[in-house]
Amino acid sequence: MHISDGVLPVGAALASGAASLAIAAWSARRIQGEELPKVAVVTASFFVASLLHVPLGPTSVHLLIPGLVGVLLGRAAFLAIALGLVLQSLLFQFGGLTALGANALMMGIPALICGWLFQTFKGQARKRQVLVGGLAGGLGTVFSGLILALLLATGGEDFFGVARLALLAHVPVVAIEALVSAFTVSFLLKVKPELLQARDALHRES
Amino acid sequence: MTGTGPGDIIVATPGILPLVLLILAMAGALLVVGRRRAAAKRSGHSPEQNWSVPVVDGASQGQSLFHRWDARFKLVSLLGLAFFIVATRSLTAGLLALGLAAAALAAARIPWRRALRRLLAMTGFLAMFVVILPLTAVVQPGDTLLVFPEIARLPFNLRGLELALSICARALAVALLMEPLLATAPLSTTLEGLTRLGVPAKVGQMILLAHRYIFVFLEETRRMSTGMNVRGFRKRTHLETLRVMGNFLGMLFIRSLERTHRVFDAMQARGYEGEFPGHGQFQAAPADWLKGLFFIALGIALLVLDRLWLP
């Protein structure tokens, strides 16, 4: 779920935009200049992944995967997500340009937290890595929901009901995201474990 | 009634609520069916997943005041206008902004079908506000409440509805404005304009590259998904589907990372040093300034109108 234009008070929109800019600059600092094209290409694949729909009973939900992006990209995740959101608003999804900062915070901060959690607690055993990966995936969605609710609540008391509902809407998605993330981590461990070992996957093991 | 209580309480006749709900449900069902059918028609095959993504600069070849406008001025003034629009509060100002955006769209000669697709993507989120806000908005003095006898405990607050509709109007207005802003010049020109405005050149390059590779990976995804379907995979609500999706994502990431390294090597082999050569010519004519001032003035006028005269 993304926030669209005109929902947040203009102060909140501007403040979250400034905060996102600062975090994105911090996130970009770690990446060496010439490697930015790599972030761009990886971002494209996350963008495509976010178009995947998972059936859920009579309806379907699309994946957000902030947790998984964090697990794979570490600190570069925020930049990748901000970029992905720009592309979404460019391409078709939301006008979203005035709410870009808010959406970047909502998806990017969970990614940073989950990436850190994964790297800190993953340990060595395969089972544990899968478990922690799944937890990171699920938590990513929980955090996104919380930040979304907080942002909506900046609109004042009238918006508390909507904020609560938006948070509630994330609950069924949490389980799906956790499971898909766990399966993805398990697959990567089997096929290309070095992706999860390095602090971020952009640096080629040489 | 004055003081702390609500301004007006209107009690609806019994039977109205089920009727309203029925009409809403039918309209919703029609909309969903229509969207599904349209999506199936566009993609030509599977009705469940529509992979197509429209090209961002699809209408860049036209002729209009937006097409002839210097990208730098276009970016600054239309973004400025967007922020002025989201700063308004009243429904009237929102509707005015919506009219303004529609007029801009018509002036840019952009097909409605394109713009409509942008709007469709937002319907779910905005519908949530329209349904929830009237029921949950805090009752303030002067609010008009509509009480349905069937759900007397949940009064329908007309101020909440107005709030929700004003949000919708602003959201739709800004979404419509994106079309004249982004679709009326090739993406590379728009991004170069961004660079000339002081945004680091790297940002523009990354957007351009990512935009290009989205289509490559979409093609890859389509191929992988066709392969899975041929082998008998069907999405359903069960664990196996999630396991397959997890593997699918893993495969997509691995392939994209491998491609990333190859692309980067190829770029370096061709002399990439962190810059793309530019093509656009940027010369500010008086007309560019005039158009820019016009749109910023419109934004300011809208905001002043909203804060000073509109309720």
- Determine which of A2, A16, A53, A98 to mutate to test the interface with B (most B C-beta atoms within 10 Å): A98
How does residue B280 score in pLDDT terms, banded at 50, 70 and 90? low
Q: Rounded mean pLDDT of B133-142?
A: 80
Q: What is the pLDDT of residues B151-178, one digit of tens each?
A: 777 778 888 888 899 999 998 898 888 8
> Which has the minimum average pLDDT: A99-108, B88-97, B256-265?
B256-265
Three-class secondary structure of residue A53 per DSSP = strand
Burial B85-110 (b: 16+ CB within 10 A, else e): bbbbbbbbbbbbbbebbbebbeebeb
- Residue where the block lists tokens 């491998």: B258
In the prediction, which pLDDT does A105 show? 92
* High-pLDDT (> 90) share of chain A, %: 22
Whether the CB of A25 is below 8 Å from some CB of chain B: the reply is: no
Whether the CB of A191 is below 8 Å from some CB of chain B: the reply is: yes
**Inter-axis angle of helices A77-91 and A10-29, nearest 10:** 130
Q: Rounded mean pLDDT of A45-56?
A: 79
Whether the CB of A84 is below 8 Å from some CB of chain B: the reply is: yes
> Which has the minimum average pLDDT: A91-100, A168-177, B123-132, B237-246?
A91-100
* Whether the Cβ atoms of residue B187 and residue B25 lie closer than 8 Å to each other: no
For chain B, domain boundaries: 1-28+51-58+67-311
Mean residue pLDDT across chain B: 80
Q: Closest Cα to residue A31, out of A199, A206, A205? A: A199
Give whichever of A51-65, B134-148, B197-211 has the largest mean pLDDT.
B197-211
Q: Rounded mean pLDDT of A134-139?
A: 92
Report the alpha-carbon distance of residue B294 to residue B275 in Å, rounded. Answer: 34
CB contact under 8 A, B54 and A37: no
List, in sequence order, every residue forming a beta bridge with A60; answer none if it has no partner.
Answer: A55
Q: What is the pLDDT of residues B177-197, one digit of tens each?
A: 888 888 888 888 888 888 888
Of A44, A53, A165, the CB nearest to B214: A44
ipTM exceeding cut-off 0.90 for this assembly: no
CB contact under 8 A, A191 and B254: yes
Q: Rounded mean pLDDT of A115-140?
A: 89
Report the alpha-carbon distance of residue B230 to residue B161 in Å, rounded. Answer: 48
Mean residue pLDDT across chain A: 83
A92 or B266, which is more confident? Answer: B266
* Whether the Cβ atoms of residue B94 and residue B170 lie closer than 8 Å to each other: yes
* High-pLDDT (> 70) share of chain B, %: 84
What distance lies between CA B243 and its chain's CA centroid?
Answer: 32
Q: Which residue does chain B place closest to A10, by CA atoms?
A: B87
In the prediction, which pLDDT does A142 show? 92
Whether the CB of A87 is below 8 Å from some CB of chain B: the reply is: yes
Please name the residues in contact with B157: beta carbons below 8 A apart, sequence gap of 6 or more. B133, B134, B135, B137, B139, B143, B144, B145, B146
CB contact under 8 A, B129 and A1: no
Residues 122-181 in B contacting A (C-alpha not used; CB under 8 Å): 122, 125-126, 128-129, 132-133, 135-138, 160, 163, 166-171, 173-178
Report the alpha-carbon distance of residue A85 to residue A94 in Å, rounded. Answer: 9
Residues 79-98 in B contacting A (C-alpha not used; CB under 8 Å): 79, 82-83, 85-87, 94
- Determine which of A4, A94, A129, A194 to mutate to test the interface with B (most B C-beta atoms within 10 Å): A4
Three-class secondary structure of residue B278 per DSSP = coil
Number of neighbouring beta carbons within 10 Å of residue B238: 9
Q: What is the pLDDT of residues B48-99, one digit of tens each?
A: 445 556 666 666 667 777 787 888 888 888 889 999 998 888 888 999 999 9
Three-class secondary structure of residue A88 per DSSP = helix
Residues 115-144 in A contacting B (C-alpha not used; CB under 8 Å): none
B262 or B1, which is more confident? Answer: B262
Report the alpha-carbon distance of residue A186 to residue A82 in Å, rounded. Answer: 27
- Determine which of B126, B214, B263 to mutate to test the interface with A (most A C-beta atoms within 10 Å): B214
Q: Which chain A residues are Cβ-neighbours of B169 within 8 angstroms?
A: 6
Q: Please give the DSSP secondary-structure letter assigned to residue A193.
A: T
Q: B205 to each of A43, A101, B71, B192, B291, how far by Cα in Å?
A: 13, 20, 16, 9, 28
Residue B295 one-letter amino acid: F
Report the alpha-carbon distance of residue A147 to residue B161 in Å, rounded. Answer: 25
List, in sequence order, every residue forming a beta bridge with B237; answer none if it has no partner.
Answer: none
Beta B156-157 vs B144-147: how paired, if at all? antiparallel
What distance lies between CA B213 and its chain's CA centroid?
Answer: 21
Give CB contacts under 8 A, 24+ apart, made by B121-126. B121/A92, B121/A93, B121/A94, B122/A4, B122/A94, B122/A95, B122/B171, B122/B172, B122/B175, B123/B31, B125/A1, B125/A2, B125/A3, B125/A4, B126/A4, B126/B167, B126/B168, B126/B171, B126/B172
How does residue B1 score in pLDDT terms, banded at 50, 70 and 90? very low
B224 or A143, which is more confident? Answer: A143
Report the alpha-carbon distance of residue B164 to residue A162 in Å, rounded. Answer: 11
Q: What domains can be seen in chain A, in order of their start residue?
A: 10-197 (1.10.1760.20)
Q: What angle do CA A147, A151, A153 make, to 5 degrees?
A: 115
* High-pLDDT (> 90) share of chain B, %: 5
> Which has the minimum average pLDDT: A14-18, A115-119, B231-235?
B231-235
In the prediction, which pLDDT does B60 show? 67
Q: Which residue does chain A place closest to B121, by CA atoms?
A: A93
List, in sequence order, every residue forming a beta bridge with B157; answer none if it has no partner.
Answer: B145
Q: Which chain A residues are Cβ-neighbours of B254 within 8 angstroms?
A: 188, 191-192, 195
Please name the residues in contact with A205: beta carbons below 8 A apart, sequence gap of 6 or more. A194, A198
